[in-house]
Structure 1
């Protein structure tokens, strides 16, 4: 057995937990930079959070101009503005881009710029400003992970910064904050959470080297991350369609946020793989939401990978009640791949790259671009080369998943 986890010092989960923000933040510092967006900063819950912080003796500076997909210019702008305030901690409130902004600004304020100094794994040289993460969507899991993604417009690429130093110190997950998420955002975010869980659970197995966690941020499949991945898969299958049908379903919102949190705990150590690698260039070309991209790609990636992780996919099939007594692993694993595709289709996640808005003729560009995401490629359970990436991309564009059965 091999197990590893890297997590925040404190994780608070449950309805009303947002009201602990002031007290929790005050333990980390008395001057807080808040990274959020203009939609969230106008909401009553945000005003209540500011009052809670001030009551706890924490002075605040709000940066509410976070841009989706987090261009590098947004990080630089926030860091410049925050310098005069001299924050002692950084709070991210919102979706993945808001939390990624908080992480990367905490790095720049502690160690200087440019952001490109920290691309890749283990490039952050030491501790950053203490981070508090408060998610308002149920999908990214960024509140518990050691990674942030930035759009480097100069290179035309999304690039990851991966370091244990950027794991938030405190994660506060209040499902009530997701109640106003529209159905499309709920579906997109839920697809992201399931992709995190499935790719973590089926990620490459590595030898139990005592130094593995010192050499790699993402260490592949292990018994501890598997525990969280199973919980996430169970809850996405149980609650995603319900939350999309009725956004006021408190039990579904709670279950889906727990799924997102658990998936973050899983992939924050195990890592993700080919679906995320392919989404980077697809997202650059289509300018579509990350969750829609990985959701569209995941069934095709699973189909390609099935021969290398048959037992793992069969295990997940059993968790969500698929298959019958005496059915073999190969058949049960295919049932799970099909069920993921059906679940995503039922909530409106795009079924193909064409449906995502990708124009024809980008196969080589996507496949080549995906291979540049080395930390994701090396984590895939089945070896990936240009031909493999092309096969997945072409199948995902046309919707011909059967073409990957013998790939």
Structure 2
């Protein structure tokens, strides 16, 4: 298969302790009117004050009612405020839900609604309001990706709006902004970042064509996504447990934020697969966090995909100091993830309906390196329900 590489990323990345103070000068390059989007918790932090202080010479309006999982009510409220102030630039300070809200706000202010018009991949017609993203978790990588994950009111499931136009214009990544994140947020967002890195590295690979690379925001496994994903996995594996155990460890926080950024760029170009597809159904049923779901499911998806990605598993294993699947499973337990789907209230009878709900998320299912049908997805969920990745080998699904 022909080698190829794709890189779509923010036009500017500023990384390092103290970089949050650059937000004002970066925003001023786009105009005078600024809409800041955040949530009530972040709005009360010293890091947020650093950002707003840097914006003091500009005309600033703050929307601080962002809500986890981006419900339509938050989108409508943010857009209504944006329509009243007509911002030249949007500044998002927060975790993935805040940045995702900012992305769809920038989209709707530029092109109008309804939001359902943009559910189809590549349906955003052009540039959105310029966006500066300052992540406060490590993380979703949303500061560098072409995807905004929102909750669809019709189905109450999460859905991704995907377009290269949604990639923030600027990513300002300051590890000092992540210091206040509590251990459970650090754990769930951090294992999600590892899921991004691993699924990007193990994604499906297609023969490159112009239609492929220009027709989709995420194009599968390629040379640049591989390099970024592998580096990201190493940083995250080395630093996640440290960051959870001691939230003031700036070295660990820096390593995690760097790993999350690289993983975001990696999967923003390659895409993710089965762990994320299954999490949509698991999260909707259990109302558990996105990171908890992807992190819990990740070793099971890796085990299922082992026959198709033996070289990649070997590379990850060398990086992690042991079999990668065992290491990822153990890391999840070390940082406090539930040991099984049963532990978060999933009944065994729910597994088949969850698999049926997930198989239709083709953007993710088709990006898995091994073909997935409802039976395969149910087997992955069953192993996760029992808390035993090796169960996939026992039922014969992890053999070539």
Name the TM tier (shorter chain): over 0.9
State the match for 1:275 in structure 2: 275
State the match for 2:60 in structure 1: 60
The whole-number CA distance in structure 1 between the counterparts of 2:243 and 2:53 is: 30
The whole-number CA distance in structure 2 between the counterparts of 1:11 and 1:136 is: 15
SS of residue paired to 1:247: coil
State the match for 2:305 in structure 1: 305
Instruction: Give yes or no for contact 1:295–1:350 (8 Å, CA) kept in 2.
Output: no
State the match for 2:389 in structure 1: 401
Instruction: State the Cα distance separating 1:317 from its structure 2 match.
Output: 1.1
Instruction: Give yes or no for contact 1:225–1:267 (8 Å, CA) kept in 2.
Output: yes
The whole-number CA distance in structure 2 between the counterparts of 1:276 and 1:29 is: 37
Instruction: State the Cα distance separating 1:54 from its structure 2 match.
Output: 1.8
Instruction: Tell me which moved more, 178-187 or 16-25.
Output: 178-187
- Note if 1:250 corresponds to 2:250: yes
Of residues 35, 47, 56, the one that matches 1:33 is 35
State the match for 1:294 in structure 2: 294
Instruction: State the Cα distance separating 1:21 from its structure 2 match.
Output: 0.4
Instruction: Give yes or no for contact 2:320–2:327 (8 Å, CA) kept in 1.
Output: no
SS of residue paired to 1:19: helix
The whole-number CA distance in structure 2 between the counterparts of 1:401 and 1:137 is: 28
Alignment of 1:39-118 (within 5 A): 39-55=41-57, 58-118=58-118
State the match for 1:220 in structure 2: 220
The whole-number CA distance in structure 1 between the counterparts of 2:320 and 2:351 is: 34
Instruction: State the Cα distance separating 1:213 from its structure 2 match.
Output: 1.4
Q: Give a deviation string over 1:46-69, Cα, whole Å, max 9, x none.
A: 2232121123xx211111111101
SS of residue paired to 2:81: helix
Q: Give a deviation string over 1:108-143, Cα, whole Å, max 9, x none.
A: 001111111111310111111001100000010000
Instruction: State the Cα distance separating 1:188 from its structure 2 match.
Output: 0.7
Alignment of 1:187-226 (within 5 A): 187-226=187-226
The whole-number CA distance in structure 1 between the counterparts of 2:37 and 2:61 is: 9
SS of residue paired to 2:168: coil
- Note if 1:232 corresponds to 2:232: yes
The whole-number CA distance in structure 1 between the counterparts of 2:121 and 2:247 is: 38
Q: Give a deviation string over 1:26-74, Cα, whole Å, max 9, x none.
A: 112211111110011112222232121123xx21111111110111221
The whole-number CA distance in structure 2 between the counterparts of 1:338 and 1:120 is: 37
Q: Give a deviation string over 1:359-394, Cα, whole Å, max 9, x none.
A: 342112210111121100010000001111111111
Of residues 348, 354, 366, the one that matches 1:366 is 354
Of residues 357, 382, 390, the one that matches 2:378 is 390
SS of residue paired to 2:171: strand
Q: Give a deviation string over 1:285-314, Cα, whole Å, max 9, x none.
A: 111111000011001111111111111111
The number of equivalent residue pairs is 393
Instruction: State the Cα distance separating 1:216 from its structure 2 match.
Output: 1.6
Using structure 2 for the length normalisation, give the TM-score: 0.96
**For structure 1, which runs of at least 5 residues remain unmatched after alignment?**
323-334
Instruction: State the Cα distance separating 1:7 from its structure 2 match.
Output: 0.3
Instruction: Tell me which moved more, 159-168 or 391-400.
Output: 391-400
Instruction: Give yes or no for contact 1:72–1:115 (8 Å, CA) kept in 2.
Output: no
State the match for 1:23 in structure 2: 25
State the match for 2:13 in structure 1: 11
Structure 1 consecutive aligned stretches of length 4 or more whose deviation exceeds 4 Å: none
User: Superposition RMSD on alpha carbons, in Å?
Assistant: 1.1
SS of residue paired to 1:75: helix
Q: Give a deviation string over 1:223-280, Cα, whole Å, max 9, x none.
A: 1011111111101111111111111111101001001001001000000000000000
SS of residue paired to 2:62: strand
